[in-house]
Structure 1
Amino acid sequence: MSEDGTKFGRAASRLASIRTHVSQPIVDINKLDKLNFKIAPLVQHALAEGLPIVAFESTIISHGMPYPQNLETAKEVETIVKDNGAVPATIAILNGVPHIGLTALELEELAKLGPKSLKTARRDIAYVVAMGANGATTVSATMFFAAKAGIRIFVTGGIGGVHRHGETTMDVSSDLTELGKTQVAVICAGVKSILDIPRTLEYLETQGVAVVAYKTEEFPAFFTQKSGCKVSCVNSPKECAKLIDASIKLGLGSGILIGVPIPETSEASGDSVELAIQTALSETVVKGINGNAVTPYILLRVNELTKGASLASNIALIKNNALVGAKVAACLMKLQDS
């Protein structure tokens, strides 16, 4: 072999080694133990064996739905993931200890606590841990913990965003900045329609976040399939996996947002939901509700004003997202193994 051929062979070998290292991170369970993370047995096994894992937030359990619907939905969602070849990992902080995956008893405990668990974004993690409190993780906190554990796929209902009139209030969710710096793919039903969707997408562009929609070129609006905002399209779980894998190999370091439209059969009437949102928004001003209490209040009021239609839609879309997320996780594992 010529000298040039030898150099090329060595370079190709090094490149292959780098690609393998980047696309298949080795999770050191002992390191997670030192961080005082509690890993559920099923999740620990999946991490050790390189099995596909889907992370879930816990705010949707504690603050998004009433008991016992929250527990029933959480169990059904985890079953959907298992039935489609992946391992569910619901993330929460219990008694000051971050949990990556919850046992059946822990899931029930969290569901019964409801709003008594502190709504925990990235900024709140240290406080909740230091105080030994219970924390229900939002999108930003869940992404943080998922990334620490080497979990690439995270399924939720919808992400936070730029609030309406955010140009004057500066009320912008930490979910958006987390997506800009944490390499986790978030599969959701889009941005909640209670937010300013066009400005949210503009902010995500500034953060360098790849935003795509599943089997459509229109970004979904949580309760409804259409927002009027065009984005790139991915047509299958395999295409989603290719996108995630490419981002990892390129070392972009940012997250990916995959918007999955709510099933048409579960889509709430856009006009009735919008009217309920406007009513709830007006009430937050009158009652002086602000900060991280705004979204839970609005979702609760919208559900009341739509006589349960929005809650039914919420449950349907999270189940649909879980189905897509499990398939994407399985495809990503096969792609990286190959």
Structure 2
Amino acid sequence: MSEPIRVADFVSEAVAAHRPVVALESTIFTHGLTRPRNIDVALDVEQRLRDSGVVPATIGVIDGVPTVGLSEQQIRMLGAEDFPVVKLGIRDLPVAAAKGVHGGTTVSATALLAYRAGISVFATGGLGGVHRGATSTFDESADLVALASLPIVVVSGGVKSILDVPATLERLETLGVIVVGYRTTRFPGFYVRDSGCVVDDVDSAGQAAAVARARDGLGLRSAVLVANPVAAEDQIDPELHDRVLAEAEDAAAGAGMRGKALTPFLLEHMHRATEGRTLDTNVAVYRGNVTVAAEIAHALVVRQR
């Protein structure tokens, strides 16, 4: 059998030398962004990390092998048009290994593989959460459960507003996941800066790193979720957002959409109704989170040297 996890030499060497490393997921360019912009964004955020003195570790699955630290060639391959790539959550990894498939890793799978490789910080776009109507469907993302047992720092733009944000925060509290807003007490709703929910805040990357160190000192095993709102100029106008989301939900109900088909339907409807503005916001959210994650990674390694 092949190795269970392949860690690129440049990643393992950086971790061993206590240099700052930030993990990046692959589903954002395998399934989340349109082509060819997906590859441009994936390579751009890696370069932004290098320019800030941080080692980027994009994570995906190649021929069934979870790989931490994809090469540029591998990123281009996974993000290519019509290339057979499946979306892999944490429970899908063993099946993918047995079948030898190529895959883009979600938040849950990326967080696990980052932790196994010794990486402390992970930047993503938005976190999965509790879906609306989950009281009857029990539909919630595996991201939440994964973060309850993986002691890393995850920087995200909150959760997409198509989800049940208050229920998601309640679930995170139940699971013991530490949630803080980055320089805000308002939990972001991905496309908008304010979801209407209140959280504790940290005022700097250093303070976020201090939260992670305090967690480790207490022996806690959950993630620290740093919710970073998109820049004001990049958010969807809140009134437009609320109107378009309501229209999307009505259209989904009329079409009988439910289960796995619901989220892509809602996102596609919002993309069309905003004339692509949601995609621009998606990219802005991701880039902003990568910047904050880089600062936290630097702050975390200061004490290790």
Range of TM-score over shorter length: over 0.9
Structure 2 residue 109 is matched with structure 1 residue 109: no
Corresponding residue number in structure 1 for 2:276: 308
Structure 2 residue 234 is matched with structure 1 residue 234: no
User: Per the alignment, in what secondary structure is the counterpart of residue 181 of structure 2?
Assistant: strand
Corresponding residue number in structure 1 for 2:19: 51
1:273 is aligned, of 241, 247, 250, to 241
Mind listing any 5+ residue stretches in structure 1 that lack a counterpart?
A: 1-32
Contact preservation (8 Å) 2:4, 2:65: yes
User: Per the alignment, in what secondary structure is the counterpart of residue 214 of structure 2?
Assistant: helix
Contact preservation (8 Å) 1:245, 1:336: no
1:142 is aligned, of 95, 107, 110, to 110
Change (3 A) 1:94 1:310: same
Structure 2 residue 282 is matched with structure 1 residue 317: no
User: Per the alignment, in what secondary structure is the counterpart of residue 89 of structure 1?
Assistant: strand
Q: Which has the larger radius of gyration?
A: 1
Corresponding residue number in structure 2 for 1:9: none
Corresponding residue number in structure 1 for 2:56: 88
Corresponding residue number in structure 2 for 1:11: none
Task: Map Cα deviations across residues 302-332 of structure 1 (whole Å, 9 max, x no partner).
Answer: 2122101111111111001100000100110
> What is the Cα deviation at residue 289 of structure 1?
4.7
2:190 is aligned, of 222, 225, 228, to 222
Change (3 A) 1:81 1:292: farther
Corresponding residue number in structure 1 for 2:129: 161
> What is the Cα deviation at residue 249 of structure 1?
2.1
Corresponding residue number in structure 2 for 1:187: 155
> What is the Cα deviation at residue 200 of structure 1?
0.3
Cα separation, 1, equivalents of 2:81 and 2:118: 28
Which letter does structure 1 place at the counterpart of 2:68?
A: I
Contact preservation (8 Å) 2:18, 2:304: no
User: Per the alignment, in what secondary structure is the counterpart of residue 262 of structure 1?
Assistant: coil
Cα separation, 2, equivalents of 1:253 and 1:209: 9
Change (3 A) 1:93 1:285: farther
1:244 is aligned, of 199, 209, 212, to 212
Contact preservation (8 Å) 2:7, 2:117: no
> What is the Cα deviation at residue 35 of structure 1?
3.7
2:5 is aligned, of 37, 45, 48, to 37
Change (3 A) 1:36 1:177: closer
Which letter does structure 2 place at the counterpart of 1:335?
A: R
> What is the Cα deviation at residue 85 of structure 1?
1.7
User: Per the alignment, in what secondary structure is the counterpart of residue 242 of structure 1?
Assistant: helix
Mind listing any 5+ residue stretches in structure 2 that lack a counterpart?
A: none
Change (3 A) 1:170 1:65: same
Task: Map Cα deviations across residues 62-96 of structure 1 (whole Å, 9 max, x no partner).
Answer: 11111111111111111111111211111111111
Corresponding residue number in structure 2 for 1:258: 226
Cα separation, 2, equivalents of 1:60 and 1:198: 24
Structure with greater proportional helix content: 1
User: Per the alignment, in what secondary structure is the counterpart of residue 192 of structure 1?
Assistant: coil
> What is the Cα deviation at residue 53 of structure 1?
0.8
Cα separation, 1, equivalents of 2:228 and 2:182: 5
Mapping 1:118-133, distance limit 5 Å = 118-133=86-101
2:119 is aligned, of 151, 166, 172, to 151
TM-score (normalised: structure 1) = 0.86
Corresponding residue number in structure 2 for 1:331: 299
Corresponding residue number in structure 1 for 2:30: 62
Cα separation, 2, equivalents of 1:292 and 1:269: 27
> What is the Cα deviation at residue 131 of structure 1?
0.7
Cα separation, 2, equivalents of 1:116 and 1:295: 22
Which letter does structure 2 place at the counterpart of 1:316?
A: A
TM-score (normalised: structure 2) = 0.94
Cα separation, 2, equivalents of 1:187 and 1:115: 29
**Percent of counterpart pairs with the same letter?**
39
Which letter does structure 1 place at the counterpart of 2:29?
A: I
User: Per the alignment, in what secondary structure is the counterpart of residue 154 of structure 2?
Assistant: strand
